[in-house]
Amino acid sequence: MNKKIWKIIVATLIITGVLFIGRLFWQQRQYECAYKGVWRGADKREVIKLFGPPSHIELCKQDESWAWDGMPLPAGHAKCIEVYRYVSWVSVEEWLIGFDKNGKAITKAYLVSP
């Protein structure tokens, strides 16, 4: 291969890498802003509009420690919650939005692993 082809290959790899890393940091920022914009009672469609498609969905997560931004839910509200998980590819952060049986947001959590 001649030098011109190698330069094109290297330039393409560098540009692709920069775009990929930029996309990861853009996603991180998007999740941070979306989390702030989710309100209690928002429906699934509104959450997806803010965050985009979730990284994972847990259909019936049962946990008595559910909360809305650290404020515990009243007793009996955490029977079966559908949880949308948004996982960062850049850091060890995760954003969770939980929905009741009517598809309304009732839990919201931000997790960071040490």
Q: How confident is the model at residue 38 (pLDDT cuts 50, 70, 90)?
A: very high
Using a pLDDT cut of 70, give the percent of the chain over it: 90
Does 3-112 carry CATH code 3.30.1450.10?
yes
Is the pLDDT confidence value at 75 over 80? Answer: no
What are the tens digits of pLDDT across the range 81-94? 899 999 887 777 88
Sheet with strand 71-72: strands edge to edge: 56-61, 81-87, 93-99, 105-112, 67-68, 71-72
